Amino acid sequence: MTDKKHSKASPPIGAMPEGEARDTRGRRIRYDGDPEHLVRGTTDADRADPHPLYVVWEITLRCDLGCKHCGSRAGKARSHEMSTEECLEVVRQLAEMRVREVTLIGGEAYLREDWDVIARAITDAGMVCGMTTGARNLDADRVRRAVDAGLRSISVSIDGLEMTHDAQRGARGSFRAALEAAERVAASPIILAANTQINRLSMPEMPSLAELLVEIGARAWQIQITVPMGRGADRPDLILQPHDLLELFPLLVYIKQEILEPGGVQLFPGNNIGYFGPYEHLLRYGAHLGAHWGGCAAGKWCLGLEADGKIKGCPSLPSADWTGGYADKEPIAKVVAETRELRYLSERTRDDLWGFCRDCYYGDICKGGCTWTTECIVGKPGNNPYCIHRALELEKQGKRERLVKVEAAPGVPFDRGRFEIVEEPMPELAPDEAPTVLGLPLAHITGLGTSATTAWSDEAIARALDER
């Protein structure tokens, strides 16, 4: 924190740089590496008067993939989804609330006929519009419509090398389709970004994915740990164990420094990759300017909307517990200002923490990390086992933690099961043991390259995706 000008910088709450050129509507985009210049970065003025800057909006639950880790169990449209007119009214309200950026998601956003009408309204209202997509059918016509609508960025989801990705996405050919779509986007005026879920299958393939993103011209890469929500909750062998973070974090630093930075790809660790300790300044976006993890942004800096109008503080939060109201029935700003579901998270204090987090040195600022992640694992926020500081502290004591599933998810969109955190002794390593990542030799995974199709055997993939 040596630069006084930026000493109060808080972390950006999202993942897209504003770029260095012009957007698809010809407006100048300037990005100089300063998190305060991100659309979603917070300024002194924002901090004096906090309000949602960033909205993730599921405009339909319809999807053309069947991802095995999908938190919303997407596939069919919801029984009621907002009409075009209702969506345009939502856009008007978001602009009035001084929202700066809206990301359209699904399901698959482009399967809604009016997706580009909504996108166009967002950009016409002065907000930045982006889209996150599985891109199985993001054909040339849809990319053209996105350009016409003024989309600034499209983030393509890539969850592993070809076989690994296709197995998780539930559709053979989805990896090739996503790559071709990504190349289409990269060749358009829209900024190409990518996003990846980190789980037991994708983690050893992260170096190869990083190389691939450099090759296809991606500008930004948002990564997050797969959370056991929705279909992900049905597959406990897919998710990482808390002690796997001890291998993940050094691997991410290697990827960032050796592959992404030289290749011009900006890494944006998602909100469940943290917190503090020796990796914060190496991985947090904007850390070189004093930014650090500042606690869950739900309801304060960001909002999530579902296709049937549900308003949540964050799109990922379990709907049953965190819906404050419906956008087609009541003013969004009123729901944000007045409901417990939207206000609680930004008002949370150390007193709301429990377990390991309760006595953590960083608890006052961190407040237990990502609410969504914690709630989906242990059933309530405030005691987050996915934390590198925690894993390192336990390692010093010769201990580690493991998650054991004790309750199944009911099987509805954005649902969760429950896991218990089991503490156990850290196994001894043989002194001459070569470094591994999830049991695979490090030298093997860093040498996989971009033409490999998986780091795993068919049996290992099937085991990780087994429903239990």
Positions that interact with ligand SF4 (CB under 6 A): 271, 275-276, 296-298, 302, 314, 316-317, 356-357, 360, 362-363, 366, 368-372, 384, 387, 389-390
359's tokens: 């006595």
**Which CB, 165 or 312, lies closer to ligand SF4?**
312
What is the smallest separation between the CB atom of 458 and ligand SF4, expressed in angstroms?
33
What's the chain's length in residues?
A: 468
Cα(143)–Cα(147) distance, integer angstroms = 6
Encoding tokens for residue 125?
């209202």
Distance CA 114, CA 112 (A): 6
With contact defined as beta carbons under 8 Å apart, do 276 and 360 qualify? Answer: no
Q: Is 300 exposed, middle or buried (0-12, 13-18, 19+ CB in 10 A)?
A: buried
Helix (H, G, I), strand (E, B) or coil at 210: helix
Q: Please identify, using beta-carbon distances, which residue of 287 and 357 lies nearer to ligand SF4.
A: 357
Q: In whole angstroms, give the CA distance from residue 371 to residue 412.
A: 20
* Separation between Cα atoms, residue 332 and residue 324, nearest integer Å: 9
Q: Which of 388, 305, 375, 387 is nearest to 344 (CA)?
A: 375
Strand ranges for 329-443 from DSSP E: 399-407, 418-425, 436-437, 440-441
In the bound state with ligand SF4, the residue whose beta carbon lies nearer, of 102 and 143, is: 102
Q: Cβ closer to ligand SF4: 58 or 211?
A: 58
Decide: 179 and 208 in contact? Cβ < 8 Å.
no
Token duo for residue 446 = 């860093």
Q: How far is the CB of 33 from ligand SF4 (least distance, A)?
A: 22
CB of 375 to ligand SF4, least distance (A): 8
Q: 70 or 387, CB closer to ligand SF4?
A: 387
Contact 120, 149 (CB under 8 A): yes
Query: Smallest distance, Å, CB 297 to ligand SF4?
Result: 4
In whole angstroms, how close is the CB of 56 to ligand SF4 at the nearest point? 9
Q: What are phi and psi of 439, to 5 degrees?
A: 90, -10
Q: Closest distance between ligand SF4 and the C-beta of residue 307, in Å? A: 18
Sign of CA dihedral 24, 27, 32, 38: negative
Nearer to ligand SF4, 57 or 356 (CB): 356
* Closer by beta carbon to ligand SF4, 55 or else 177: 55
Beta strands 302-305 and 54-58 are parallel
Between 42 and 316, CB nearer to ligand SF4: 316
CB of 233 to ligand SF4, least distance (A): 16
| Closest distance of CB 124 from ligand SF4, Å | 27
